[in-house]
Every structure is written in C-alpha cells, then in structure tokens.
Structure 1
C-alpha cells in the first residue's frame, strides 16, 4: 500500500519528530565537545546563563532555562560539587537561593569559548542560516507557548 506524501500521519511529516531527532543529534555532538570541560549539556546551559547574567536566584535561573526546580536542583548540586558555582540563601529573602559562579566557574568561560564555533561547524550551516534557524525556532516556541496558554496569539 502506498501512502500519499500529504498523509499527515506519516512520521516524516511530523515536525515534532524532526525537532526531537535534531535535539538528540545536538546532544551527541555536545557530549563530545563538552567532555574536555567536564560538563553535560544541561550543566553547560546553566553556566551560559550565569556567565551572561552573573548571580541569579534559582527561580530566575529555572525560568530562563525553562527548567523546574526538581530538574535544576540536582544540576546545581553537581556544579557546586565540581567547584563551579555556589548556592546561598538570599540575605534579602530567606526563601530565595542565589546561585553565583566561583572563581573556577568564571575561569571555565575562557575554555568554553571554542564550544559555539565547534557546534556551528558540526551543523554544516553558515552563520546566516544558523541565525535564521534560531529566529524561526524562537518564533515556533513563542507560538507553541501561546497555544498552550490559550493566548489569542495562538490563533493568528
């Protein structure tokens, strides 16, 4: 039995599968590239946010990374055990825990400088294509978030 190319129930017609496959492929490349830094991909994302923003409350860090505290806490615990970050209760709000880089965490930034170049090279895309893809994925994420919250933007 042949299936028409417009059969929307074919696996190759599922954008979610394409995104998932690309994500898994990215994770494999990141595993190799980050090995020398001693970081996993999720740990690398935490470090990126801290290198960019400095000290942050755990809640803000989780919002920025789109991770819940149950996922973020073990990541932070491992980064703290590795001597890259420090977690401390906020002096302003006892309920809040602040995360900051240690000197070792700050120093790791220089060694991580080659990671984006190596990842870009692995994609086979040029810089303009990478930027365009990133912009499209950001629009897709915003549209899906809006749809998930029932926002009017979801119908446009």
Structure 2
C-alpha cells in the first residue's frame, strides 16, 4: 500500500514510518497540512495516517483531498484531542475509515492499517468501536 503519514511530531512520524515500511508499505512522511496537500496532488496514496491537529490547526481538509485524487483512498485519523467524538470525525469525511486516540500502540496502528487496506473497496457502513479503536465497516 502507498501510505502518507501526516504527523508533526518527528519522533512519532519516524517510528510510524519505519514500522509501516517494515510491514511492506511504501511510506511518505510529511509534517504540515501544506506538505500533505502537495503530496496528495502529486501521488494518489492508498492510505493517509492523519494527525488531526498539526501545529495547533485542524487538518481534516487533507481527508477530503485524499479521496479527490484517489476515490478509494482511506484515512485513519489519529488524535490526542477529545474535542471531537469518533462519530463526529467519521461524519466529517467519508474517507475516514478508522480513528485512533493518542498515545497509539504501534501494533494497533499496523493492525488498523492492514484492516483498512483489506477493506478499501467496501462501501462505508455504520461505525464499529472496540478496544480504543473505531472502524467504519
């Protein structure tokens, strides 16, 4: 899978990138909404791992643009903020396939990416929530 990691914490971005590459994915890492938009305009990524708050600003517009370039692209939102409920995040963009709350267990991140990748052609259905992770089925 071609994965775009959008994360402003350099340590997390590096860790997530390394782990996803070791799992066999092609990974590009960016740390701003502008860089994410530029990358999405150049490459139709299959999956976007999106930190909801980048440098203090909400970056949900990245999710919408991701599906413009690739209608099958899915987005996993990662957030340490409780400002939005998971259901609200799913309602903001049909591209949102899963949400994770920080701190993220790295094994959960890999499992979520694999699950989203296997189901990328499914029509979004109601939300399933279990063990700190929420999926759109």
TM-score bin, normalised by smaller chain: under 0.3
Task: Identify, as 1 or 2, the structure richer in helix.
Answer: 1
Bigger radius of gyration among the two: 1
> Normalized against structure 1, the TM-score is what?
0.22
The higher relative CO (CA closer than 8 Å, separation ≥ 6) is in 2
> Normalized against structure 2, the TM-score is what?
0.24
